[in-house]
Structure 1
């Protein structure tokens, strides 16, 4: 079974998701999951949803969700995400991938959003809908949902972004928030978007911090090291839940 991965920059790879996506908690004699990396930044063509195999993963990147001139593959990526979300293809967008998903399905992203850069390890808090969600439900189990007066932590996750989803797509399900940015996770049709980075390793995260103006690399690295076990637990849970959806076959087509 093929899971297609769209890569927007060599500095933002599939990283720790590779072994987690391929790890089957219940080994069978059936087909195994294989990753097909599409290096869009290198000119490799963005496929259609029907060419993606059993699932689609769209990674983050250095550009913004509207940077069609600087990243000419973005219109095709947005079209792919809109098609995938409405066709039942299990799909996950991370950071830029989530922003592209939001724009592709009728939401809005603000470039250089006023709250500023969210950099470091962030407490991700579940919304009520997360408890029954196929990707976040296992992490949300038993965690108080985010509402006035009470909120638990779904996961501690690395984050490094200044752009943000400011309007969810019509009909999207809001799944998680953070203190600085509310739309940390959502679902639209058969696609999920997460603003944080469940896939990133310390090495990659350190490199991002070193390149980001105004970010204290020493502090960011210290946050990651302090929460490393929790970051791995959350990242693995998300990757394996998504991989399970991919292995189970197409979801019911839903207009996105």
Structure 2
């Protein structure tokens, strides 16, 4: 698991994977830990304040994109969240730009597309759900072969699948109320708006965990199945 900054940690996802029996090794390149060349047991790439193309400011991004590209090519279970999703997009031939509609932040509605009904991770979502957002950049062109799964009013590419075992989500299923409050308080939002958005996320925390836990459990099941297959191969 690649963590880009201390303020954007595992959140709910860590607990969901642990409960399902998936042991996670967290790599923190911002602390000088090297990004591995491969992740044969599965890969999660978390969010962060970086732009996915800012290699000068965040020197580990090229290695992270290479890791994602190799994992997707090899069919390794891979989940990219926000910045992680944007890194996957670029690594696999898509395009990420500064979002034309500006900052998307707080609790927003997203809508599963018909393609989600047969997807291993998204098939259990109801018709319309809410998710935590905090991003300035957005995927504008998906990688070749990507299957778009979730859309939104402001930015249409909210989630997609690439190959059999790789998923990218623009929103933050891992974000607890405490994590979001840290982002809101330390970001460049007006103080009143930060407090309002944090209160909305806190009030919805139970709903958010109930909505997105099945996604985490499904990713864990895919990961464990992959590991079992590799063990007997």
With normalisation by structure 2, the TM-score equals 0.93
1:138 maps to which of 124, 135, 160: 124
Q: 2:104 aligns with which of 107, 110, 118?
A: 118
**Kept after mapping to 2: 8 A contact 1:90/1:251:** no
Counterpart Cα distance in 1 of 2:194 and 2:140 = 27
CA distance in structure 1 between the aligned counterparts of 2:6 and 2:204, rounded to whole angstroms: 26
Check if 1:85 corresponds to 2:62. no
Summarize the alignment of residues 47-62 of structure 1 with structure 2, pairs less than 5 Å apart: 47-49=36-38, 52-62=39-49
Note the residue ranges of structure 1 that are not aligned, 5 or more in a row: 25-31, 144-152
User: SS of the counterpart of 2:59?
Assistant: coil
CA–CA distance in structure 2, aligned partners of residues 175 and 23 of structure 1: 26
Q: Is the 8 A contact 2:46 2:81 kept in 1?
A: yes
Indicate conservation of the 8 Å contact 1:90/1:250, yes or no: no
Is 2:103 aligned against 1:128?
A: no
2:156 aligned residue = 182
Please state if 1:164 is matched with 2:141.
no
- 2:96 aligned with 1:96: no
Cα shift at 1:179: 0.9
Residues 225 and 11 (structure 1 numbering): CA distance in 2 closer, same or farther, change over 3 Å? closer
Query: Structure 2 regions of 5+ residues with no counterpart?
Result: none
**Structure 2 Cα separation of the partners of residues 139 and 251 of structure 1:** 27
Q: How does 1:211-230 map to 2 (within 5 A)?
A: 211-214=186-189, 216-230=193-207
Q: Superposed, which structure 2 residues align to 1:12-23 within 5 Å? A: 12-23=8-19
- The answer to whether the 8 Å contact 1:98/1:193 transfers is yes
Deviation of the 1:229 alpha carbon: 2.1
Give the deviation of 1:43 after TM superposition. 1.4
Aligned length: 226
Contact residue 176 and residue 205 of structure 2 kept, 8 A: no
Query: Whole-Å Cα distance in 2 between the matches of residues 81 and 238 of structure 1?
Result: 20
Superposition RMSD in Å: 1.6
Moved over 4 A (4+): none
Q: Scaled by the length of structure 1, what TM-score is found?
A: 0.85
